[in-house]
Amino acid sequence: MSDADDIRDPIDAAYLAAEAAQAGDDARAARRARVLAAVAADAAAHTSASAPGPARRVAWRPGGWLAAAGVAGLGGWLTLQLYRPTPARPSAPAAAAVRVQTAAPPALAPTDPHGAAAPNDSPPTATASTVVPPAREAVVIASPKTFPPEAAPLARSLGGQAEMAAGTTALKSNEAAFAADAARDEPLDAPAAAPPAMARAAALGLAAAKLADSPASMARLQSSPRRFRDAPAELRAAAAAGRIGELEDLLAQGVAVDAPDEAGRTALMASIQANRPGAAAVLHRHGASLDRRNRAGVSARDLAIEKDDPTLNAALGLRP
Amino acid sequence: MESDPPDDAELLRAHRSGDAHAFARLYDRYDRPCFQFIRRLLGQAHAIAAEDLHQETWIAVSRNAGDFDCGRGSFPAWLFTIARHKAWDYFRRQKVAVLTTTRDEAAMLVADPDPTPLEHLESRELAARLLSAVEALPVAQRETFVMFAQGGLSLEEIGRATGAGFETAKSRLRYARATLRQAMAGERTANV
């Protein structure tokens, strides 16, 4: 074989001419606007997620596992001291807290940030293999019975986490998301970036320490979008942003394809409204309903008809 | 005297430090080859996903700008590697059975080193046929050919990006060209 293969060939030029003849400037301009907006939104999301800043992250680096376990233990101890539920079950929270403490995972496997030729959004398997905390213990701690009435919302949140840990596939996406955040080399907020065991340990400590006297902390805890992830919401967000990979992953993990938000909007509706035919095709293939209606009585089919986009119609199998 | 435009690595550094215009400039340099690479790799059957994968590629570039090391390769090589990963991830999720080497042997039988007069493509139809021929190539040859012709990557870079090595990339490029020549020569004969 000659080295002539490494130089330009007339067929290469023909191909470039063919591509140029097919290119549409309008489509390119629209694509440019969409991509740059998506990149800006993604960067903004990561920036806001990293607040309040990298200073707190230092304490949560890999060496901070012991600190996380300590916080969990302190949280459990304070829970035991302050909120002993009934004389009949005095030891349940304490025992559970001890078990959670021992469930703190080992240090993450070392990774080589320069090992891969190119980055991939999904983190390496080794870094994502965090230990899933035992569900039963978390249920005991998070049971609303063990908290005073003012702690009910938080307890429900923790309970929800625990129920997911008991076996729902939605939890897997949360675990993966936490682990993915932890694996990324970027200035993430410490609790948000922490793997699940650490995040729960922090949540427990925070719950125990602040429950009675700091409603503001509770509110912040509950309002944090990254602390307790909502897989259906992630599905809708991925659909609206056209992130097919994330969409496929979530669906593969069993997230309900038609799970609506409070307005009754499904992921398919979100993808149609955002003009994401690729995402719409994926959702449609996974059985997303075209006829389910939101609270305004509008279905995905209605939205698609209103859009009247041939590409979108083709993605949804609708006739123009 | 006008200063030289910033190179790709400088634009990535500027992007990391918060310069939004730097990323837009970088995007404008490589938008077209990147998109066309993804589009050709997906082929007509999956063309619908090209826009989204293109966007995912650039988001990945933005997120991982700090990982780019110009000492290890050019920016286009890095970009095309990311785009290729996105496309192959997509194939994997869709369980697409990609055509790999079934046409290699047939391509080897083509002995037509003389360039055909395809430099002067005037007909959009002919252009479309050539693009169809590109999309009909086995995917390994297709990605190699588009990386080389459209992305301007060297065979060394393509070998690294695909994990196939220099010699394999070289073979794939040769087979791809031969197949395309054959397809377009037939087209020319048919049109005469």
Whole-angstrom Cα distance, residue A119 to residue B78?
9
In the stretch 74-103 of chain B, residues with CB closer than 8 A to chain A read 78, 81-82, 85-86, 89-90, 93
Average pLDDT, chain A: 61
pLDDT at B57 over 90: yes
Mutate to test the interface with A, among B37, B59, B142 (most CBs of A within 10 A): B59
- Give the global pTM: 0.48
Answer yes or no: do A18 and B149 touch at CB < 8 A. no
Q: Closest to B89 (Cβ–Cβ): which among A184, A245, A314?
A: A245
> First vs last Cα of chain A: how many Å apart?
52
Q: What does chain A come to in residues?
A: 320
> Is A114 or A273 the better-scoring residue by pLDDT?
A273
User: Tens digits of per-residue pLDDT, A119-129?
Assistant: 444 433 333 33
Structural domain boundaries in chain B: 1-96, 98-192
The residues that bridge with A61 in the sheet, in sequence order, are none
**Chain B 117-156, residues with CB within 8 Å of chain A CB atoms:** 117-121, 124, 126-128, 130-131, 134, 145-146, 148-150, 154-155
Q: Which of A17-31, A220-234, A254-268, A273-287 is the least confident region?
A: A220-234
What pLDDT, in 10s, does the model give residues B122-180?
567 788 888 999 999 999 999 999 999 988 899 999 999 999 999 999 999 999 999 99
* Lowest mean pLDDT across A23-37, A156-170, A211-225, B140-154: A156-170
Q: What is the mean pLDDT of residues B46-63?
A: 91
Measured CA to CA, the distance from residue B168 to residue A24 in angstroms comes to 34
This model of the complex carries an ipTM of 0.77
DSSP 8-class letter at A28 = H
Among A228-237, A298-307, B55-64, B124-133, the range of highest mean pLDDT: B55-64
Tally of CB atoms within 10 A around A61: 11
Whole-number Å distance between alpha carbons of A56 and A68: 13
Residue B97 is predicted with a pLDDT of 62
User: For residues A227 and A193, is the Cβ–Cβ distance under 8 A?
Assistant: no
Residue B121 — very low, low, confident or very high, per pLDDT cuts 50/70/90?
low
Say what the pLDDT of residue A252 is.
Answer: 82
| Rounded to 5°, angle at Cα B55 from B52 and B57 | 110
Eight-class DSSP state of A58: G
| A316 or A87, higher pLDDT | A316
Q: With 70 as the cut, is the pLDDT of residue A277 above it?
A: yes
Residue given tokens 């090595």 in the structure block: B165
Q: What percent of chain A has pLDDT over 70?
A: 45
CB B179 within 8 A of CB B108: no
Residue A51 is predicted with a pLDDT of: 55
Domains defined along chain A, listed by start: 56-106+123-223 (no CATH), 231-316 (1.25.40.20)
**Mean pLDDT value across residues A265-277:** 89
* Chain A, window 177-196: residues with a beta carbon less than 8 angstroms from a chain B beta carbon: 184-186
- Is the per-residue pLDDT at A29 higher than 60? yes
C-alpha A239/C-alpha B182 separation (Å) is 42
Amino acid at A108: L
Calculate the alpha carbon distances from B107 to B24, B111, B137, B190 in Å.
41, 9, 10, 20
Q: Is the pLDDT of residue B117 over 60?
A: no
Q: Token match 């785009």: residue?
A: B83
Residue B27 in this model has a pLDDT that exceeds 80: yes
Of A117, A118, A245, the CB nearest to B56: A245
pLDDT value for A154? 40
What is the rounded CA–CA span in Å between residue B76 and residue B148?
Answer: 11
DSSP character for A84?
A: -
- For B98-192, CATH number out of 3.40.50.300, 3.40.50.1980, 3.40.50.12160, 1.10.10.10 equals 1.10.10.10
- What's the CATH fold of domain B1-96? Rna Polymerase Sigma Factor; Chain: A (1.10.1740)
Residue A86 carries which side chain, given as an amino acid letter?
T
* pLDDT tier for residue A86 given thresholds of 50, 70 and 90: low
